[in-house]
Structure formats: C-alpha cells, structure tokens
Structure 1
C-alpha cells in the first residue's frame, strides 16, 4: 500500500521531463487557477484541514500536469514526505500562511521539484549506456552510480528517510537505460543492502562499495521485458480473497463524535471542485438511506450512487474494456459473468452471509472488491468508499475519520494490504486496535 500522492512509487516513465512538458514561467498562474487555490486553509485550521487542502492541491496538480507533479511536497527532513529534494515546502503547519504566500510556495516547490528532475535527466544523459554492452561499460555504470548517490546526498542533506529517494534515483537511472522497473529495484536494493540510514551521510568507502556492487550486478542482455500473458490483477485479488488472514476486527457501532466521511468530502473534494463535493455528498446521503432501508449491495446500487458522483442523468454502465489503476501498474481484465461475480462478492458483505467475519472486515473487503473489479470508467475510488460507508451504515456504524480510507492505494495481490485496511476501518469506527 502507499499514499495516493506519495512520490515514492513514481517511476522514471512518470517523471521523465522529456515525456511531460512543463512551463515554469506559467506555473504560478496555473496554481492560482486550480480549485484548491480558491479555498486556502486559514492558519487556525491547519492541523487536519491543512493536510486535506494539501492533498487536494496534489490531486489538482496531478490532474493538470501528470503523476510527476506529486513530488512538489517531497521536502527535506521530516516534512509531508521525509527525505526529499524540495526545500520550498515543508508541511501544512509551517508552509500554509496567507493565501498568496501559500500559493506562491506551492508554485515554487513545484518548479523546484521539476528542476531537480530535469537536472537528473541531464546527469543520466551524461552516461549513455547500453545494457547489452555492460562488460565494456561497467566502469561507466559504477561512475554514474557514485555520482548520482553524491547528488542525492547533497540535495537532500541526508535527513530523515533520504535513502528512499536515493534508491529511487538509482532505479530511475537503470530504467532510463533499458532495465525494467522491477529488476532495477531489486538490483538497487541488493547493492545498498540497508546500509544507508537517516540523518547520516554515507562515507566515501560505502558510496564506492554500493556503486561497485550495482555495476557488477548487471548482466548483458538479461533485462528484456518479460514475456508471457499480461497480469490480470482482478484475477489475483479473486485468488487470494478467500485466503486473507483477517484479524478479529470490530463488530457493532461505536459512538461517532464526528461524521468523518462528510467532513472529508467538504474539506478535500470541495477544495478540488465544489460540484464534485456536492455530487459525492448526494451519493453519500443516498448510500446511507439505502442502508437504512436494508438494501442489498450490488452493482445496480453502486451505479445509482455513481450517477450522483459523476453527475450523469442515467446510472453509468459496467465498463466494457480492461481497466487500469496506480499509474498503469495494475490491470483489471474482463471475464464472462464479471458483473454477476461482483454482485456475489458484494453480497458477502451482509451479516451472516458466507464466512463469518467482523463488520470492519466485511466493510474493508467490499471496498476492495469495488477497487479491483473497477466497474466504472471513472470514479471507482469514490464508489469503493461509498460501498465501505454503506456496509458500516447498514449496521449503524460510521467512520469518524476518512483520510486513511480514501487516500491510500491498496494492492490487489497483497493480503497484508487487505488486513491493513480492515485495521484502519476498525480504528475509524471508534474501536481500539487489538494488537
């Protein structure tokens, strides 16, 4: 799992400046024209609302420029995301002040992040390497790795978590010259071997050893794109769904001091677009009304809510093509009877249906079912959240907070992610965790 706007999972394809045009001169004007610019959080509200506003700004920037823009908040040391190369933004508490100053900081941080990516691209091009000629170029690979480590050391200041970005930059370099992402990540992890630490700069001997290990680990011609059938992550989810080692979870309602779902929509979605928030609030009200009357959760019910979410006259149909998520990292195929299979899975969210599971577990599983069946052409994350709220509301429970339920991405083939989401639901509905 990872936070939706975290920069850690970004691949080189997603950040390569050659693939993503950007005009720094117009960045400030563009930022001021985005939805969140109309609703800059007041300083007195910074604690929770500031984080939601920053998430909304990330969403708007990614929509405008592409996934690479998520790195604008990757600040030095212990900011929104630890150990990054950006000095112009720290965190909502310290970086959100008056509207003009705040928006200027956002634009400056975005430009700073982009300039860093462009400088990395320049460094990569200084070492035009060919994986098939590794033996002849091994010294160049080693020199490139050493220089890139030192560049990251200098840029981040070796604060909290700096080594994560260092590993990422080395992976990007390998990817730039033809090594696929997964093998590149594995080679870098093996070369570093957990020897970089927060708040500590690596000495020359360690830098040289990591660079040498990385260069020596490369093999000529061994990094072609994998052949074989394309992975269907829906099939992976269905294969592990019944075997997830669910924990006890929580049953029954707990007193909710606040309506976390509606509060989140009013802070996050309204900052992006008031119409988006209005539609999601209408869908939320409809979902809770359906829960109160004891409706059965199925695709038809989801589609009725989705009409509000997307602002369509008619409920949207089930998708007719494979779907993609997480920047294309997950693919959800089409299979015969896919809608009926989704309905069968969602039916198991009711109490007493199928395997006996706690309410928080059933709500989490229904949310993941919608995520990985990905039934609509748009708005699936919101549909999944509505399904979760519905399952809770049907048994008189409600989330007191929604941030960990809405802005974290869960992987279809990771049972630990499913368990983690169920834990988040347990806490969100007011029950203490049982560790």
Structure 2
C-alpha cells in the first residue's frame, strides 16, 4: 500500500452491484486509483468504476469518501492490444529493480570527443550530444522494457508525432543520476496516462453502447480529440505537436480494441487508421470526427448522418417568445449571493480548484457588468482564462464541438463566429429590437443558450454560460434566487418550448439583490491568491517538458 495517505482507515463500505459488501478497507484520503489496486483482487476481469451514494461517478484521482457506501462496477475490457497494455500498467513495476538495472546498464557519462566541427558552421557540441543521447536512450529503453514489460514502451507512442528531429520524450541527461530519475518518472507518467485512459475508455464504451457504427465512431473520436494539440482543453498530456495523426490513430485503435472491435471487426481498426493518417496535415481538420466516421461508414455501408445542433438552435431561437418581467420584484431575503452559494455547494463538491477559479471568474464578470461593459467576445475570453486557470485560448474555437455526450454537434463553419458575435450583441441591456424593449429574462436566457449551442471555446462552456447569464442580470440590477433550478438541467438545441419555459422560470426566480450582496465574493477574492493562472507543461510536446519531479 505504498504511497497511501496516512491517518487511519476510511469508514466507507464498498458494495457490489448485487448489494453484497466487499470485505475491503482503505486508508483515509485514499484515491480511487489507489483503492482499485486492492478492490481488483476481489473483482477481477476489467477496470473498476466507483459510484457514491449520491450517484457521482468518481475519477481515478478523486478521494474515496470518508464514510457511506461506494458501489463498485466492473467495466469489462475486450481481449486485445489495449487489455494487454492496461493490465501491464495496472500491475506496475518494481522501481528498485528498474533503478538497479538502469545503473548497471549506464554507458558512461557523456564526454565530447570531436575537437573540430565535422561540418563547418555546425554546433559540434549539440550534434555530438544528440548522437550520444540517441545511443544512450536505445540502451536504456531496452533495459526498461526488459525490467517492466512491453507496456512500458512509451517512446513508440511519443515519438510517433516526431517532426524536424524534435524530442517528444526528453532525452537522457549527460550524467547517470538525473537520467535514471527521468526515466523512472516518465514511466510513472506513462502508467498514469494508461490508467486514466481506461477510465475514459470505460465511460466511452458505456455512452456508445448500442449506437450505430458511424455515430459510435464520431462520439469516440470527438471525445478523444481533446488530447490533440490543436484542442485547448484541460488535459495534462497531448499526443504531439504537428504529426498528430500517427499517435492519435493509435489512441483511437486502442479504444476500439477495448470495445471489442479488434476481436469482431478487425477491418474497422484498419479503416480508421487509414482515415486518420490519410489527413497528412499538421493540424486537425475542423470536422475530424465527422470526416473519419463518414469515411468508415461509406466503406462499410453503415448509416451515418451529420448533425448540426447550432442550426437547430438558431431555428428554435426564432420561436423564443418574450415573457414580461413583473414590475414589482421581490428582494433577496438576506445578503446571500445565490450564484456564489451554487459554486460553494455544487462546484466545490466536484473540485476545489475548479470552484476557486469560478469564484474569480464570477468576480471579474460582476466587475465588468457593474462598470457598464458591453458583452463581447473579448470579454468572454477574459472570463474563460479565469475559468480554465490558464491563458491558452485567445480566439473562437477552430474545430467542430460536441456536447450532450456527443449527441449534439456544433460544426465550425465559415460564418459560425460572426453569427455568434452578432447574436451575442442582442444581450446588451436596453437593446431594442425595433418593435419593443425585450425583457432582461429573455436576454439572459437567450445569451445563456447561445453559449451552450454555439460552444465558442473548446472547454468550460457550461460555466461560461452561467457567467453570461449572471452578467446580463447583474448589469440590469437583478439576480435569481435559485440558480440550481436553471444550471443543473440539460437543455436541447431543438427544444424551443423548453427555451420558452426557461424564460418563464427565470421570471419567477428573478429578484433584486440587497446592497451588500457581493461582499462575501469580494472578501473571498481579496483573501485568496488567483488559482493556477499559468501555462501548463504537457507531455509529448516538443515545445516544453513537465518538471522533473515525480508525477
């Protein structure tokens, strides 16, 4: 149980689907991944999904609740290349044995041998060092694979995206000690990637179960595209820099293997590989997922239909009617901030850092609203940086976007951004349609849904939509008393009737805030430093490497 947090035993009870209790205990503050090492002994045959009494599905890095029942489901994995890779990573490796083998095989510290440049004008030191590093890496890679097993070959995946001779996996240092630390830490990073991927694959297999081939492929590929460097999503590893298609094809084939295609429809893996590597482009096409799914569906005579949920919303939007805001509005019973309360209950329960970022984003949003700023794309970008905790997106998205577990697609067309900017301007307070002055409830709801169904950025749309909704209300001097009734329910791009009902609900909940209602938010921001506003180091990226500290 090395690596577990100390401090006693968790009182959580683990239960099978049958209701039978699993005779297993874990330490307090134990993560799901750590607990799985013990639970797997009682429930072999696949990866595990842990679900709390509240129905929350826990991810690998989540901490096991300190008490209560936790349901454990076995997510079966089909036999094939992915199951072999996952099982090897799950079993792990003997770190002491690996370090010993690397020390014994070390070819000696680097020393410059050539006194004169082999080619005039070249940097002899760099060329000679690079040659030595490649030879050293080959020797040590063989040792790693022999000691840990075939699953430990992260170099094949990492270097598949190599271009212009860049290193995608950091080369050895000129001396032994830091080189051994580097290889051990990189193997731990690779192990974490494989284990996290199975969490992602298991969710995908559940979501795609029973779907037609074309839709299954589109949903899976759209979900996995977040690991491509062109997509600015909150991930800690990417599949490359320019030649993204080789490792991405490998990634998609691993998923298909886990879902049983390798056993039943091997040709599908080949067709997918050909469709992805056939792009031969340094950037992912705007409609990558739809293109690949359409090509494979065409080859196999399967059904496939492209979806345009943004178009569906624009059509539904035209039918969205206004509901007059009551002239006499109730006032908040106290100086509470309903949106802040939502962050402290819903967001905080999910992730403390996510909640902290959202507090800062809400404070910035309110500041902009109270200063009379217009709702523009540049303003959304500022809030987006706060939401995501990194300044990694400075424009409208460049690719198709998906939501509702892949069942809604928002294509990136030539006029998508300009249409969005035009519609966004309608949210400005006092905007006249030429017929009558629109209510604040209509403008807030419409802008909220515009964010959801145009999906302007690669990630964080639901949180951004909440800020836009809050901005419109705050600028007009209002808030809503129960935001959870608005934010916690799914919306459909086609549901014009549901959009009207949303406006009606906001009119019921709209209230006037008390004078000091923002004080708790302002005090929190004043007492806490901004959380994580920086670039992240990403693995398999030739432009930067993660820190040498263990992952």
CA distance in 1, matches of 2:23, 2:312: 45
Match of 2:497 in 1: 416
Is 1:320 aligned to 2:398, yes or no? yes
* Length-normalised TM-score, structure 1: 0.51
Match of 1:270 in 2: 348
Match of 1:282 in 2: 360
Is 1:101 aligned to 2:67, yes or no? yes
Name the SS for the 1:327 alignment partner.
Answer: helix
Pairing 1:167-206 to 2, within 5 Å after superposition: 176=210
Match of 2:332 in 1: 256
The one of 409, 412, 415 aligned to 1:331: 409
Q: Report deviation, 1:254.
A: 4.1
Match of 1:388 in 2: 469
Preserved CA contact (<8 Å) 1:249 1:423 = no
Rate the CA distance shift 1:238–1:27 in 2: closer, same or farther, 3 A.
Answer: farther
Q: Report deviation, 1:279.
A: 0.7
What residue ranges of structure 2 are gaps of 5+ in the alignment? Answer: 1-16, 33-50, 77-205, 216-300, 513-551
Q: Give CA deviations for 1:281-335 in whole Å, capped at 9, x if unaligned.
A: 1110111111111111121111101111000136543211100001111000112
CA distance in 1, matches of 2:347, 2:389: 14
The one of 424, 431, 446 aligned to 1:353: 431
CA distance in 2, matches of 1:58, 1:269: 16
Match of 1:341 in 2: 419
Preserved CA contact (<8 Å) 1:180 1:225 = yes
Is 1:398 aligned to 2:479, yes or no? yes
Rate the CA distance shift 1:411–1:251 in 2: closer, same or farther, 3 A.
Answer: farther
CA distance in 2, matches of 1:320, 1:429: 36
Name the SS for the 2:312 alignment partner.
Answer: helix
Q: Tell me which protein shows more strand as a share of its residues.
A: 2
Rate the CA distance shift 1:312–1:25 in 2: closer, same or farther, 3 A.
Answer: farther
Pairing 1:19-38 to 2, within 5 Å after superposition: 33=31
Q: Give CA deviations for 1:396-431 in whole Å, capped at 9, x if unaligned.
A: 101222212221110001101211221232233239
Q: Tell me which protein shows more helix as a share of its residues.
A: 1
Match of 1:369 in 2: 450
Match of 1:241 in 2: 317
Q: Report deviation, 1:267.
A: 1.3
Give the RMSD, CA atoms, in angstroms: 3.7
Rate the CA distance shift 1:273–1:400 in 2: closer, same or farther, 3 A.
Answer: same
Is 1:310 aligned to 2:391, yes or no? no
CA distance in 2, matches of 1:55, 1:430: 35
Q: Give CA deviations for 1:224-279 in whole Å, capped at 9, x if unaligned.
A: 96454x11000111122122234334568642233110011011112222211111
CA distance in 2, matches of 1:347, 1:330: 24
Match of 2:509 in 1: 428
Q: Give CA deviations for 1:183-224 in whole Å, capped at 9, x if unaligned.
A: xxxxxxxxxxxxxxxxxxxxxxxxxxxxxxxxxxxxxxxxx9
Q: Report deviation, 1:180.
A: 11
Rate the CA distance shift 1:277–1:245 in 2: closer, same or farther, 3 A.
Answer: same
CA distance in 2, matches of 1:380, 1:302: 11
Q: Give the number of the structure with larger relative contact order, counting CA–CA contacts within 8 Å between residues 6 or more apart.
A: 1
Rate the CA distance shift 1:282–1:251 in 2: closer, same or farther, 3 A.
Answer: farther
Pairing 1:69-218 to 2, within 5 Å after superposition: 100-102=66-68, 105=69, 107=70, 110-111=71-72, 114=73, 176=210
Rate the CA distance shift 1:314–1:293 in 2: closer, same or farther, 3 A.
Answer: farther
Rate the CA distance shift 1:375–1:255 in 2: closer, same or farther, 3 A.
Answer: same
CA distance in 2, matches of 1:100, 1:287: 36
Preserved CA contact (<8 Å) 2:212 2:303 = no
Name the SS for the 2:402 alignment partner.
Answer: strand
Q: Report deviation, 1:393.
A: 0.3
CA distance in 1, matches of 2:371, 2:412: 32
What residue ranges of structure 1 are gaps of 5+ in the alignment? Answer: 1-16, 18-23, 35-53, 66-98, 119-171, 182-223
Preserved CA contact (<8 Å) 1:322 1:331 = yes
Name the SS for the 1:269 alignment partner.
Answer: helix
* Length-normalised TM-score, structure 2: 0.41
Match of 1:168 in 2: none
Q: Report deviation, 1:58.
A: 5.0
Name the SS for the 2:359 alignment partner.
Answer: helix
CA distance in 2, matches of 1:397, 1:369: 20
Aligned residues: 251
Q: Report deviation, 1:360.
A: 0.9
CA distance in 2, matches of 1:30, 1:322: 42
